[in-house]
Structure 1
């Protein structure tokens, strides 16, 4: 009986956070012209003395879309950490990190922990993409589980809406989403699970870009 309860508990915990996973970094429509992910984009903004890095991980494309928009606004260097080597963090003043969310965790969290000693004294900004509304309590809980308090204190965090297109999901993702829907207790989230949606908007970045401008002003 105890063994059955433990298995049920583990299954429930997995499915409870499933909503944060599947729609996390959803299918994106690339910007006009696109970006060559095989090399770092080195376009600079007018503040040549302030170096900005945008490092991201993207499963389906939403995180990449936001990262490219940020790059166009800031003129920073753009790097896809899954396809490029880690850069020399020492040359940057501001580091913006973007990630999808999977199984209730920030996918890029191990990268942050691995390179923490090299980035901890930089101005750090983190954004994530998720199908769960940014203001939902699950987002804060996921963030706190993904990174320890010491790191969170040094990071300005911006959760963002993602995008989902059911025909782009793997069969496994669709299966897990169906199971997750039966377990979800939040009726609003449950109703929307499995539906296609597009929450990726350039204006979602306005708070992040406003903060970035303030940080740059403080570094001049």
Structure 2
């Protein structure tokens, strides 16, 4: 059996919730990224990193993946992003894939398995910077021809200034199954890494 750890960065709680559920289902350790050193991750065979996917495609903490891959390259590496876009929509999956290509290096993408989970947004909890960023994003999208908007952009308009929660415990099942298969079958690092977004 391989030994797994869940490491996460969370801004408003959705990513942290998924990380904690994963730790329960996989019977493994879980840490906020800021509370664990890279050296401490060496004792694990499988490292699951969770991070928010901000509007516009920025993955929080992707610098951790870009810069530290050489030390973690012999591990089974899994990334789960958390955003309000619905990954079941084909255009959204392709958009997320494009964002990941921009955020991460070819080396990282060759070593990692990616899942996308839906998160939550509560405008009352947003920081001032994020509130301004979302207002600017909303204005830009509103100027677009509705026929030209992506599903992700339409979701931003539909949920603007609303409390919206898409967090779903069942959404982690494919990831749990994947990690358990790594353990049961003794699959080595990088297995299935060619899929940027799980179908």
Structures share fold, TM-score greater than 0.5: yes
Selected match of 1:77 from 29, 37, 46:
29
Selected match of 2:117 from 137, 147, 160:
160
Q: After TM superposition, list the pairs within 5 Å mapping 1:9-24 onto structure 2.
A: none
Shift in Å, 1:95:
0.8
Question: 1:106-152 CA distances to partner (integer Å, 9 max, x unpaired)?
Answer: 11211112221121111111101112222413212211111122211
Matched, 1:52 2:19: no
How far apart, in 2, do the equivalents of 1:107 and 1:96 lie?
14
Match of 1:151 in 2: 108
Match of 1:109 in 2: 62
Match of 1:99 in 2: 51
Shift in Å, 1:209:
1.0
Distance verdict in 2 for CA 1:204–1:146, change over 3 Å: same
Shift in Å, 1:155:
0.8
Match of 1:140 in 2: 97
Match of 1:213 in 2: 180
Match of 1:191 in 2: 158
How far apart, in 2, do the equivalents of 1:77 and 1:167 lie?
32
Distance verdict in 2 for CA 1:84–1:150, change over 3 Å: closer
SS of aligned partner of 2:74: coil
Match of 1:122 in 2: 75
Larger CA Rg, structure 1 vs 2: 1
How far apart, in 2, do the equivalents of 1:85 and 1:120 lie?
16
**What TM-score do the two structures reach when normalised by structure 1?**
0.72
Shift in Å, 1:180:
0.8
Unaligned runs of 5+ in 2: 188-199
**What TM-score do the two structures reach when normalised by structure 2?**
0.79
Shift in Å, 1:157:
0.2
Shift in Å, 1:87:
4.3
Question: 1:142-168 CA distances to partner (integer Å, 9 max, x unpaired)?
Answer: 111111222112111001101111111
Question: 1:86-109 CA distances to partner (integer Å, 9 max, x unpaired)?
Answer: 342332111111111245221121
Between Structure 1 and Structure 2, how many residues are aligned?
172
SS of aligned partner of 1:168: coil
How far apart, in 1, do the equivalents of 2:74 and 2:110 lie?
12
| Structure 1 consecutive aligned stretches of length 4 or more whose deviation exceeds 6 Å | none
How far apart, in 2, do the equivalents of 1:168 and 1:90 lie?
36
Match of 2:130 in 1: 173
How far apart, in 2, do the equivalents of 1:84 and 1:118 lie?
15
